[in-house]
Structure 1
Amino acid sequence: MTYLAVPATSAPAVALQLWRSANSIQKAAIVIGLSLILLAVLAPLIAPFDPNSQSLISRLRPPLGFERAKAGYWLGTDELGRDVFSRSLYGLRLTLMLAGLGATLGLLIGGTLGLLAGIVGGRTEATIMAAVDTQIAVPFTLVALFLLAILGSSIEVIVLVLGLAGWEQYARIVRGEVRRLMNMPFIEAARAAGAGPFRIARWHLLPNIISPLVVQFTLALSNIVLLESTLSFLGLGVQPPTATLGSMVGIGRDYMPTAPWIVAAPAMMILLITFAVQILGDWLRDGADVRLRAR
């Protein structure tokens, strides 16, 4: 008559168990994801040059191993003579930060509204679900372009825009799960015992909706990475000279016929991020699902 109990297990033990249960593709995604995070965190220590330092006499130099390559510039230089490797590291750092903050903000907004709609019901639920339907009906790229054109392209505004992308999915998922769980016997028992809405949400609802939220978070994270890259590609994201992976691809597209290495490194990092996040989403879902772990 209570929610599913999760055995008390230490975090390292759970991580080791999940690692052993992972297949080769999942382990590769884990290694790629941790490597990208490590590169982003250590970017100031690893980058051999200032990412914004220009040297016009060294512009458009190819990576090491090619003719005209310049010593120290492992991945070559861009149209302003800036080191592509250093800019890719700093771009990865900023892109992951924006994606993480945006996905977390969307989770908080959508999850809170979905929980409120499922528990309270009535006009509150109708209002929230009307906002959800409106968000779904309007292409969010147009909304993002409008907000950035009005509010500017500061880091705070970009995080807000990215956080508003996909909140409706969280709200729909949480509201549906809460409505289903509210009819379960253990919720009725908690009510009969005098538990209030906050206690029911904290101890009975949230542990049982972690799994779909983890899956949606990973989907949203990769989608936000692509959205940020799209906005930067269009010139409405983080403004130059600050580098993001999307802005590097956007600027480098004009030089692809003669200097494809400008685009190759950031584009490959975007691909690796989306691959790792999607695979890790399924892996974390299985580990976070209390219904599976309680068996």
Structure 2
Amino acid sequence: MTMALNMPAPSALRRLWTSTNAIQKLALAIGLALLLMAFLGPLIAPHDPNAQSLLSRLRPPIGFDRAKAAYPLGTDELGRDILSRSLHGLRLTLTLAILGALLGLVVGGLLGLLSGVVGGRTDATIMAAVDTQIAVPFTLIALFTLAIFGSSLQVMVIVLGLAGWEQYARIVRGDVRRLMHLPFIEAARAAGASPRRIAFAHLLPNIVSPLVVQFTLSLSNIVLLESTLSFLGLGVQPPTATLGSMVGIGRDYMPTAPWIVIAPALLIVLLTFAVQVVGDWLRDSVDVRLRAR
């Protein structure tokens, strides 16, 4: 017996769409386009992203002198196609961000649920870990972890996933503590429901909305964190391309070949813009407290 929101899916989708303004619709279109580009990247990329051609190095985009039609966005210092590397880099950056956000959601959500349901010393211990995570700059933790364990894809996912788990834990713990005093939880207890059943069958369905919103908001932060680590040379190692590593490598060629940086940097800006605006829109649309103001 839960306080479920039994709104029909078409009505909910219609209400969400009509609540969008022009900027939010633009962000949705950009986000869908980037997802499509990332998904189809290996199919539409004109070249192997790691194929080198020193005879074609530092070619500018089409429209400039020395440009080649085979490289519409130009080439980098090793003659690799910027368009192909940007598509593959977008795919990998987005994959790392989604996996990292999912890991943070699972870890933080379960710890927040445990903290809110059990309480006592368990609650105090988990909240102390949350406060510690907030107090210490996570960039330092990430640098320390990557320096010790390396920067493989698996380590990167774990590092990025632990970047925002404390936000999920605080949100879930706060909502659970609020819901624990409501009549439907008391009725579940009186009916003999175990703490595990109360947590997963009664509490979790009622805190899905804020978790979905936090997930979208954390995606943009993880994209920027991955780009920062790759820019510093501690992210995914060459020759594999991510958007951040392309910007990091291309910074030395900014005076003479700015196109090496422009394409991946623009994709980072568009991706973070789309995710941030869509996250704010979902928060304003789903959060009942904000709609009531």
Query: What are the equivalent positions in structure 2 for 1:246-261 lying under 5 Å apart?
Result: 246-261=244-259
Query: Does 1:4 find its partner at 2:6?
Result: no
Query: Does 1:80 find its partner at 2:82?
Result: no
1:107 aligns with: 105
Counterpart of 2:62 in structure 1: which amino acid?
Answer: L
In structure 2, relative to structure 1, the CA distance for the partners of 1:106 and 1:177 (3 Å cut) is same
Query: What are the equivalent positions in structure 2 for 1:173-212 lying under 5 Å apart?
Result: 173-212=171-210
2:69 aligns with: 71
**Residue 50 of structure 2: SS of its match in structure 1?**
coil
* CA RMSD between the two structures: 1.8
**Residue 42 of structure 1: SS of its match in structure 2?**
helix
Q: Deviation per CA, 1:113-161: give whole Å up to 9, x if none.
A: 0100000011111111111111111111111111111111110011011
C-alpha contact 1:118 1:179 (8 A) present in aligned 2: yes
**Residue 35 of structure 1: SS of its match in structure 2?**
helix
Cα distance in 2, alignment partners of residues 130 and 284 from structure 1? 30
Stretches of structure 2 lacking an aligned partner (at least 5 in a row): none
Stretches of structure 1 lacking an aligned partner (at least 5 in a row): none
Between Structure 1 and Structure 2, how many residues are aligned?
291
Corresponding residue to 2:229 among 228, 231, 235: 231
**Residue 80 of structure 1: SS of its match in structure 2?**
coil
C-alpha contact 1:48 1:86 (8 A) present in aligned 2: yes
C-alpha contact 2:217 2:280 (8 A) present in aligned 1: no
**Residue 169 of structure 1: SS of its match in structure 2?**
helix
Cα distance in 2, alignment partners of residues 188 and 40 from structure 1? 47
Q: Which moved more, 1:283-292 or 1:36-45?
A: 283-292
Give the superposition deviation at 1:8: 5.5
Cα distance in 2, alignment partners of residues 272 and 14 from structure 1? 27
Cα distance in 1, alignment partners of residues 285 and 173 from structure 2? 22
Give the superposition deviation at 1:7: 2.3
Counterpart of 2:8 in structure 1: which amino acid?
Answer: T
**Residue 68 of structure 1: SS of its match in structure 2?**
coil
**Residue 207 of structure 2: SS of its match in structure 1?**
helix
2:161 aligns with: 163
1:241 aligns with: 239
Query: Does 1:145 find its partner at 2:143?
Result: yes
C-alpha contact 1:104 1:163 (8 A) present in aligned 2: yes
2:128 aligns with: 130
Instruction: Report % sequence identity.
Output: 77
Q: Deviation per CA, 1:205-250: give whole Å up to 9, x if none.
A: 2232223222221221111100100110011100000000000000
Cα distance in 2, alignment partners of residues 243 and 196 from structure 1? 49
C-alpha contact 1:110 1:167 (8 A) present in aligned 2: yes
